[in-house]
Structure 1
Amino acid sequence: MAAAGEAILSRPLALALVPATVHLVLGPLLPSAWAPAGLAALLLAALALSRGRAPLLRYTVCACLLPPLYTALRRALSLSPGPGISWPLLLLAHAASALAVTALELLPRAVPATASRTPTPLQPTITSRLLALSRPDLLPLAGAFTFLALAVIGGMFVPYYTGKVIDILGSQYDQRIFLFAIFCMCATSMGSSIAAGLRGGLFTFTMSRLNRRIRSQLFSSLVQQEIAFFDATKTGDITSRLSTDTALMSRSVALNVNVLLRSLVNTVGIVSFMFSLSWKLTLLIFIESPLTILIQKMYNLYHMRLVLQVQDSIARSNQLAGEIVSSIKTVRSFAAEDLESELFEKKLQETHQLKNKRDLVTAVYLLCHRLAQLLMQVVMLYCGQLLVNDGQMTSGNLIAFILYQMDFGDYVRTLIHMYSEMTHSVGAAEKVFEYLDREPRVHTDGTLVPESLQGHLEFKDVTFSYPAKPDVQVLQDVSFEVRAGEVTALVGPSGGGKTTCVSLLQRFYEPQSGRILLDGRPIQEYDHKYYHSKVALVGQEPTLFALSVRDNIRYGLDHCPQADVAAAAHSASARDFIERMDHGFDTDVGEAGGQISAGQKQQIAIARALVRQPRILVLDEATSSLDAHTELSIQRALAREPAAAALVIAHRLTTVQRADRIVVLEGGRVVERGTHSQLMELGGCYSRLVLGQFTNGEQGAAAGEKGSGHGERQ
């Protein structure tokens, strides 16, 4: 028995509502003399059972006390006692109690002075910044808000004149008054429709312009960030900011504010009209507002959770599909087509089940909402019929009131929904502004643009750790130089720091200590475009864009004649295969250069570097996919540029052994430097690398060459 009592008391919602429900149903059935005592007993039962469970306790207390208080006040003011405790009176008491408690719960509670309060200036700042971004659209926005006001005002008069027409038809017919009412109803309806169309068009126009403006600014900010930012940030997060969040931001002013203001003005106007038609029925409809808010909040709680789960599930499916399509050659080579199809089917099934749950929640919500509307309409018709019989309102006014009441619940629900949408828009704007306000850690604001550049490069005591792993030093006090007109090779085992040196030279990162000098000046001082036109990089896996061959070669150059493009392609031994293509230099290479071979991509990348006529050419395994004949042709072409300096990273000894200087990196330090023959005599790290290739049958003859001179052991 005690356990059963504990189980019942664990349901505060049902328990606290029981006294109010009994009070509403049985109150009018009590004899007049018993009414005060019966109400007091119900109140005591509510206090005992609720045990301080606010806000339901406050609702029950208010609903039970209002009827006897109303009767006592009428007697104290020497007014007629009225009809006594009746169902209309109790309905009004419950409606007023529900309205008061709901308003009290929705108001922000004051924070005690002793409590720690964290200032939140972010949302007002975001709102002001959104308005500032919308400033170029001030004129169309002003027009949109003007038409919004006209549409709302015109729409509110349509039910009013509909009721007038019914009153005219139900009483003594007067054709002049009838035609005037019809004219007013048609004029307000037509004007409201035209204004609504213009309002929607202007808001859509401003939303599109704001979306384009935000995306443009965000993309410009993103491409200015340092490479470490992209290393630490997922590509999906960036694309989500560019697509989803910018769309939510642009809707915040043009759509959300539009719907929010329209619903708010409509709600206030409808309540005013309803109050003028019947203040008693107006109080009664406030029973629907708390019920609508409760249903909407419960729906939002479950629906938003399922929406997020559906979005995550769709993202996982898309990620799997993209991974399979991009790796289709690997899938085909391992005959894993059926396996990948089954995996994708499982992802789709997971998404389907989540969508079914989401749709079920929506269906239950719509059912509860419709039932609540139907219940209110039945109560309204019953109470309205009593007022019409008492002569307190006409039939036309009752119909107009019901028309207003049908829209009232929808507008209240829209207000709640748009408040949630505005919150989401502010959250999305916060993420976007976080990227917009981010200052890149590698600045590109240098201004040095010398008329001539020798191309003398120096690394001086450079120490570097990647931002993702600050405790691991990739380079430690690295020093070497690349002289103009010479070829310097960086060699060493994997992980020695060769590619990191290239990344620092390209200004992808900043070293923690030490300096990188170009002609005796720090590379940070040079103008960004000028520097990268004089220092060109060709990587092992070059990136080509879905453009023509010509556009890929002259990528990043404002003015580049076709003669220079053809000359660079000839120097890279690429002109022959380019001219054999269907459209020559106008041939599209496909996404990431997928329409051409890996060797052809490297040749086009070399041509893209040579067309800039750089003073320093950085080749990071740039000929790894080329045959020996093509590689030799490119080396001869580079040799015809004696003034240019070259920094080569390669494992082929045919490239390295001809270098003027070889720098050996191991464990992030320079351990050896010298020529090929000098380093072979030392018998150190470089010699071991060469002998390792010889053991594997590569470059055997070159590995045995020795010459005069002395190397230097670090």
Structure 2
Amino acid sequence: MRKMSSLSSLLLCLAVDVVVAQVVGVAQLSPRLTSHPFLALWGGGILRACVLHLLIFTSPGSPQWMKSHEGRQTVGVLSFLSPVYITLLWATGQSAVELLWGWHSWQGLLQGYAVVAVALLFWKRYMPSLLAEKWQVPAQKNGASLKRLLGYMKPYTKHFVAVVCFVTISSLGEMAIPHYTGKMTDWIMNEDEPEAFTYAITVMSVITVMSAVCEFVCDLIYNVTMSKIHMYIQGHVFQSVLKQEIGFFDVSHTGDIVSRITTDTNTMSESLSEKLSLLMWYFMRVVFLFGFMVNLSWKLSLFTALGLPVIWVVPELSGQFYQSLSKKVQESLAKANDVAMETFSSMKTVRSFANEDGETKRYEKRLEETYSLNKEEAAAYAASTWTNSLSSLALKVSILYYGGRLVTGGTVSSGDLVSFVLYELQFSSAVEVLMSYYPHVKKAIGASEKIFEYVDREPRVPPEGSLAPQEIKGHVHFRNISFAYAKRSDTLVLKGVSLELKPGQMTAVVGPSGGGKSTLVNLLERFYQPKEGDILLDGESLQSYKIQYLHDKISVVSQEPKLFARSLKDNIKYGKEDATNEEVYRAAKLASAHKFISQLPDGYETDAGSKGDKVSGGQKQRIAIARALIRHPKILVLDDATSSLDTETEFQVHQALDNLRKTEKCSVLLIAHRLSAVKQADHIIFLQEGEIKEEGTHDELVQKDGLYAELVRKQNMPFQRNTGVDNEERSSEITGVN
């Protein structure tokens, strides 16, 4: 109802304005005003302004924007547009008789409404930002601005200067054909000497060839330069993502991240490379074409320029719609990619549960959402193209009509008219191309929004420390640590945990799953920061050290280590590329991996495959252990790292680790569910529900007959019930467990 009331009020204002204009027009024909037409002109403008203001402020259904300062300005422009324009023409000596007596006609009123509507759109689009800049008013920043995208081109300024020079030469060369075509028309009609005709053909041919050569060189330089920029942008985004904290990857889907780095950067770069090239070419053509048009006839040029705002407004509106729609399309594609990557990475699970059809339906559902957005995008593009073509056609017809009148009046010669028409046809086509490709650049801006979110995002980690001593002992002290993950910030995973890792000793942490064992490892590697407490390394806070230095001194082997799609030797050398072959062989022997690697057809050059799928689980763990040992760590963390090894291999690995910690005095943190290696630890900690329940040596904890003893008993006798067995017998039973 409110919309209907606003529309009715607007229509009423238009109807009253038309009636007032017609009344003034009739009064202008009276004997008293016939000799003073300017009096009726300005009196009509004042009367229209007063009546419209009165109607707007007294009508209850008037839209709020009409009652604002902006609405009053609009009414003022509408009322005084014709008086100001006609008076200006009269003052400069131009013919204004026809406009002076016909300003109140239907044609004059419609033209006034059209001009005011276009001016209002341009005012709302451009003036707020200009005023904000002039008066230093802080305007809202758009992170994905075209200016920022163009900032990536600054290192290649010399290349683009060369491109602009070649574009200028090529564009000037293209002006020769319309120019000499018009000259030939005059020569033919005036029957001038025939040599002039031959000379014009020769000059046009030479200039056209030179223009084509310059265009070729320009395209070559431009495309090579844009390829470099695309490579830099993609690498910069990739580096920015890598710098984020581990918590960022916990809440962000891998498919979403990969889509931003690949699909979005490609969309942005292609739009900037191809579409921006066309915009640059046609912009130069527009500038030169309009210059030559003004030189031929300023009146026709002015008439052409007055029709351009109609063509400009439509692409601007469609460009804003393209920008918002493009972002939705990219987000939809990212969701579809996420489903595909999740399915392919868990293919064994999908096949085990025979859920191929279910995953296909999930993927198709995401694609349907993308398809619906693509339909909207296609419809918007078709509507924009149709509107552009229609407005361009109307402009061409109007120019031809007005130009014909100037020719019949003797203002423009026949040759100049031919040249102008050719220039105008190229000019209109160039403007149409500019306007049609502008939404594509806006689309690139929309696709870059998420990219710049990654680039601008500051990693949520404390400032990096400065400590990087030549030697450290590797004495780690967890002091009253409490921690909760961001996804479950109200649930503490660790509650006031305190423990020590001493050089040359092995500290084992055991307990049920979900107790917080792996969280200790994450905190030690500074993947996360404790909510309370502190972690000390050789008496200094862990945050005081450089991150790269810490990762050089701390090596971690997880239960499911990740290998990369490269050779086994490169996997062992990962992060220590300067390691020699002897160091690789030594680390592999310590990890009991040298024997099986040597038996492979390609030996150490064997490709591990994607995520190490070309080697078994046990082999993968031994390669990961070798990767950790080659760094000569001062702190070695084994997070259930031998769970996939057979008993003999596990014994050999632990023997090597035992020798390593004693000879190199490194601190070892062992997290295990199988207790065969835990018994050899110097200190054992039982962690349950984020709290330390028990600690001591194996024998001490067994004698205590608490939670640790119960865990040992369950692993030793998984299918037996201990009813009727007293504590003393159970303790003796547990003590003999191997």
Both structures adopt the same fold (TM-score exceeding 0.5): yes
Q: CA RMSD in A?
A: 4.8
- Give the partner amino acid of 2:8: L
Task: Give 1:474-493 correspondences, 5 Å limit.
Answer: 474-493=493-512
- Pick one of 561, 564, 568 that aligns with 1:542: 561
* Matched residue SS, 2:676: helix
Question: Aligned pair in 2 of structure 1 residues 607, 529: CA closer, same or farther (>3 Å)?
Answer: same
Asked whether the equivalents of residues 147 and 196 of structure 1 are also in contact (C-alpha less than 8 Å), the reply is yes
Can you give the 5+ residue segments of structure 2 that lack an aligned partner in the other structure? 57-65
- Say whether 1:310 aligns with 2:329: yes
Equivalent in the alignment of 1:671: 693
Which whole-Å CA distance do the structure 2 matches of 1:373 and 1:17 have between them?
30
Equivalent in the alignment of 1:324: 343
1:656: how far off? 1.8
Equivalent in the alignment of 1:396: 415
Equivalent in the alignment of 2:297: 278
- Say whether 1:9 aligns with 2:31: no
Asked whether the equivalents of residues 144 and 445 of structure 2 are also in contact (C-alpha less than 8 Å), the reply is no
Which whole-Å CA distance do the structure 2 matches of 1:612 and 1:4 have between them?
73
1:542: how far off? 0.6
Which whole-Å CA distance do the structure 2 matches of 1:441 and 1:3 have between them?
52
Asked whether the equivalents of residues 226 and 442 of structure 1 are also in contact (C-alpha less than 8 Å), the reply is no
| Bigger shift: residues 315-324 or 603-612 | 315-324
- Say whether 1:108 aligns with 2:127: yes
Which whole-Å CA distance do the structure 2 matches of 1:179 and 1:217 have between them?
57
Asked whether the equivalents of residues 491 and 664 of structure 1 are also in contact (C-alpha less than 8 Å), the reply is yes
- Give the partner amino acid of 1:358: E
- Say whether 1:680 aligns with 2:699: no
- Say whether 1:406 aligns with 2:425: yes
Asked whether the equivalents of residues 486 and 645 of structure 1 are also in contact (C-alpha less than 8 Å), the reply is yes
- Give the partner amino acid of 2:712: V
Which whole-Å CA distance do the structure 2 matches of 1:259 and 1:476 have between them?
62
Asked whether the equivalents of residues 45 and 80 of structure 2 are also in contact (C-alpha less than 8 Å), the reply is no
Question: Aligned pair in 2 of structure 1 residues 235, 343: CA closer, same or farther (>3 Å)?
Answer: closer
Question: Aligned pair in 2 of structure 1 residues 327, 695: CA closer, same or farther (>3 Å)?
Answer: same
Which whole-Å CA distance do the structure 2 matches of 1:403 and 1:699 have between them?
100
* Matched residue SS, 1:543: coil
Normalising by structure 2, we get a TM-score of: 0.79
Equivalent in the alignment of 2:712: 690
Asked whether the equivalents of residues 406 and 412 of structure 2 are also in contact (C-alpha less than 8 Å), the reply is yes
Question: Aligned pair in 2 of structure 1 residues 544, 412: CA closer, same or farther (>3 Å)?
Answer: same
Task: Give 1:62-101 correspondences, 5 Å limit.
Answer: 65=83
1:490: how far off? 0.5
Asked whether the equivalents of residues 254 and 338 of structure 2 are also in contact (C-alpha less than 8 Å), the reply is no
Asked whether the equivalents of residues 21 and 44 of structure 2 are also in contact (C-alpha less than 8 Å), the reply is no
Task: Give 1:442-453 correspondences, 5 Å limit.
Answer: 442-451=462-471, 453=472
1:659: how far off? 1.9
Asked whether the equivalents of residues 111 and 117 of structure 1 are also in contact (C-alpha less than 8 Å), the reply is no
Question: Aligned pair in 2 of structure 1 residues 18, 333: CA closer, same or farther (>3 Å)?
Answer: farther
Question: Aligned pair in 2 of structure 1 residues 166, 19: CA closer, same or farther (>3 Å)?
Answer: farther
Asked whether the equivalents of residues 516 and 522 of structure 1 are also in contact (C-alpha less than 8 Å), the reply is yes
- Give the partner amino acid of 2:399: M
Task: Give 1:330-479 correspondences, 5 Å limit.
Answer: 330-413=349-432, 418=438, 421=441, 425=445, 428=448, 432=452, 435=455, 438=458, 441-451=461-471, 453-466=472-485, 472-479=491-498
Question: Aligned pair in 2 of structure 1 residues 298, 550: CA closer, same or farther (>3 Å)?
Answer: same
Equivalent in the alignment of 1:638: 657
Which whole-Å CA distance do the structure 2 matches of 1:343 and 1:253 have between them?
34
* Matched residue SS, 1:640: helix
Which whole-Å CA distance do the structure 2 matches of 1:496 and 1:458 have between them?
19
- 1:473-502 deviation line (CA, Å, top 9, x unaligned): 433432222233332111123332211211
- Say whether 1:176 aligns with 2:175: no
Asked whether the equivalents of residues 241 and 432 of structure 1 are also in contact (C-alpha less than 8 Å), the reply is no
- 1:499-536 deviation line (CA, Å, top 9, x unaligned): 12111222323334544344445445556555434421
- Give the partner amino acid of 1:284: F
1:548: how far off? 0.9
- 1:221-243 deviation line (CA, Å, top 9, x unaligned): 44344323433555456445544
Question: Aligned pair in 2 of structure 1 residues 20, 213: CA closer, same or farther (>3 Å)?
Answer: farther
Question: Aligned pair in 2 of structure 1 residues 91, 393: CA closer, same or farther (>3 Å)?
Answer: farther
* Matched residue SS, 2:601: coil
- Say whether 1:586 aligns with 2:585: no
- 1:625-669 deviation line (CA, Å, top 9, x unaligned): 223232223222323333343211111121222322101223333
1:558: how far off? 2.8
| Bigger shift: residues 288-297 or 64-73 | 64-73
- Pick one of 673, 677, 685 that aligns with 1:655: 677
- 1:171-196 deviation line (CA, Å, top 9, x unaligned): 31323332343344334433333333
* Matched residue SS, 1:581: coil
Equivalent in the alignment of 1:607: 626
Question: Aligned pair in 2 of structure 1 residues 54, 290: CA closer, same or farther (>3 Å)?
Answer: farther
Question: Aligned pair in 2 of structure 1 residues 308, 54: CA closer, same or farther (>3 Å)?
Answer: farther
- Give the partner amino acid of 2:515: G
Which whole-Å CA distance do the structure 2 matches of 1:160 and 1:212 have between them?
43
Asked whether the equivalents of residues 276 and 441 of structure 2 are also in contact (C-alpha less than 8 Å), the reply is no
1:57: how far off? 5.4
Asked whether the equivalents of residues 544 and 593 of structure 1 are also in contact (C-alpha less than 8 Å), the reply is yes
- 1:526-582 deviation line (CA, Å, top 9, x unaligned): 565554344211101111111111111111113222233233223323233323433
* Matched residue SS, 1:657: helix
Asked whether the equivalents of residues 286 and 427 of structure 2 are also in contact (C-alpha less than 8 Å), the reply is yes
* Matched residue SS, 2:162: helix
How many residues in Structure 1 have an aligned counterpart in Structure 2? Answer: 700
1:602: how far off? 1.2
Which whole-Å CA distance do the structure 1 matches of 2:318 and 2:211 have between them?
32
Which whole-Å CA distance do the structure 1 matches of 2:593 and 2:544 have between them?
35
Question: Aligned pair in 2 of structure 1 residues 61, 529: CA closer, same or farther (>3 Å)?
Answer: closer
Asked whether the equivalents of residues 705 and 731 of structure 2 are also in contact (C-alpha less than 8 Å), the reply is no
Question: Aligned pair in 2 of structure 1 residues 523, 534: CA closer, same or farther (>3 Å)?
Answer: same
Equivalent in the alignment of 1:712: none
Which whole-Å CA distance do the structure 1 matches of 2:695 and 2:652 have between them?
27
1:264: how far off? 4.5
Asked whether the equivalents of residues 256 and 335 of structure 2 are also in contact (C-alpha less than 8 Å), the reply is no
* Matched residue SS, 1:665: strand
Which whole-Å CA distance do the structure 1 matches of 2:449 and 2:173 have between them?
34
Equivalent in the alignment of 1:300: 319
Equivalent in the alignment of 1:573: 592
- 1:97-155 deviation line (CA, Å, top 9, x unaligned): 77766665555149999xx9852496799899877754542332322232233333333
| Bigger shift: residues 646-655 or 682-691 | 682-691
- Give the partner amino acid of 1:9: S
Normalising by structure 1, we get a TM-score of: 0.81
Question: Aligned pair in 2 of structure 1 residues 346, 670: CA closer, same or farther (>3 Å)?
Answer: closer
* Matched residue SS, 1:504: helix
Which whole-Å CA distance do the structure 2 matches of 1:72 and 1:612 have between them?
89
* Matched residue SS, 1:403: helix
- Say whether 1:564 aligns with 2:583: yes
1:23: how far off? 9.3
- 1:48-107 deviation line (CA, Å, top 9, x unaligned): 599556887567546755797589779xx8989579868999699769777766665555
- Give the partner amino acid of 1:438: E
Equivalent in the alignment of 1:552: 571
Asked whether the equivalents of residues 571 and 634 of structure 1 are also in contact (C-alpha less than 8 Å), the reply is yes
| Bigger shift: residues 421-430 or 520-529 | 421-430
Which whole-Å CA distance do the structure 1 matches of 2:178 and 2:189 have between them?
16
Equivalent in the alignment of 2:63: none
- 1:674-707 deviation line (CA, Å, top 9, x unaligned): 1122112323332343344456339999x94559
Which whole-Å CA distance do the structure 2 matches of 1:220 and 1:48 have between them?
60
1:419: how far off? 8.4
